[in-house]
Amino acid sequence: MNDTTPIHRAPDSPTARQVLALAGVFQAASLVDELARTGQTDTRAWETLIRATIDTSPPSFEAIYGGHPNNLRRGLDTLGGLLGRKDANTTVMRYGFALLMLTNQLRKNDTMLDDLGQRLSRIQGQADYFGDNHENVVASLGEAYQQTLSTFKQRIVVQGDPSLLQSPMMPERIRACLLAGVRFGLLWHQQGGRRWRLILQRGAMQRALDTIG
């Protein structure tokens, strides 16, 4: 993904924005599962999450996910499973809902929000120097997650191949994905997303998902 990616105007409705933000949450959940099981993941999906986490002051809603809904394709497809349009991966669903719960805890903790914001500002400076996907940047994102969100009593336990989970940089990459999921969880809430909408407004969300493509 690069800065020349054209901005694609997604359907501009509150529900469409909620769907796109929620897709970011479940894209992170999907990548966590894939990294833990295979050690590999989709480059475009990964870069979208990292850029969204580092850029704390995007110029527009669309810019958050890089200007085109296809940057969130993995998350949109995963969300289709949640809404009943496709088969759902239960492990990914568990990670996704756990990320929403972590987001809710973070929203109630102003001290941690401030701390995380300061950490991300410093990491943005790192990314400007090294590049978004440099090991130092990913390690810093992982450390930010570990020293903030992972201190909550209710933590996300990631399951996968033990040898992969212990391989160099894998814990940091997984934590960076989890942090990205919370970033999109905050965005989802800012756009009016609430857990009860996943049940009571499922039809409206399905229609928005179909419109996005």
Model pLDDT for residues 108-138, shown as the tens digit of each residue: 999 999 999 999 999 999 999 999 999 999 9
Model pLDDT for residues 56-66, shown as the tens digit of each residue: 889 999 999 99
d(CA 17, CA 10): 8
Q: Can you give the pLDDT at residue 38?
A: 96
- Helical segments of 83-169, H only: 90-107, 110-130, 135-147, 162-165
Q: Is the pTM of this model over 0.85?
A: yes
- Residues belonging to the chain: 213
Domains with residue ranges and CATH for the chain: 14-212 (1.10.3890.10)
Among candidate residues 51, 99, 56, 64, the one with its CA nearest the CA of residue 79: 99
Residue type, 37: R
Q: Which residues of the chain are modeled with pLDDT < 70?
A: 1-11, 85-86
Model pLDDT for residues 101-112, shown as the tens digit of each residue: 999 999 999 999
